[in-house]
Amino acid sequence: MHPSYEHMQSHFKENRATFSMIAAVACEIGRESDATKLSIKPDTAKSEALLDLANTVEVDSIIYWEKNNKCSLSMPVFENQDNAAHQQFAYRYNVSSPRQYNAEKHSYEKVKSAVSEGNKSQVAFDMKLARRWFFSFFYKNVS
């Protein structure tokens, strides 16, 4: 079962210090790797500790990339794909071009019906949680 938007918001607020620590360490690992994009794996003591910490806040994986000399991170919390749709709930850090969240248009039920009825092939948004932090969501047709 997917998390609610409210859960994504309250969970972030309750664990803000942990998310800040994750961002600091993940950005450091990314910069040290010299990669422009990196899926962080538990291949060192530092990255293993980072992923263990991320696991305590329901984050399964961390993707790092550098854009405009800034560390950006994507941390999926829930992802599901069936024959009809692919959806993802994620925490993202330093989003360069956030997609505006609109409470009226973006309720989960409205998004789901807009995509399943074929009115839209994909709906995505970035809800601001704190400075540099977003709850990012997408739901897209894959049939």
Residue 143 pLDDT greater than 90, yes or no? no
pTM: 0.93
Residue 130 pLDDT greater than 90, yes or no? yes
Mean pLDDT across the stretch 29-58? 95
Mean pLDDT across the stretch 126-131? 97
pLDDT at 136: 98
Residue 126 pLDDT greater than 90, yes or no? yes
Q: Kindly state the tokens that stand for 111.
A: 């998004």
Residue 83 pLDDT greater than 90, yes or no? no
Parse the chain into domains and list their residue ranges: 5-141
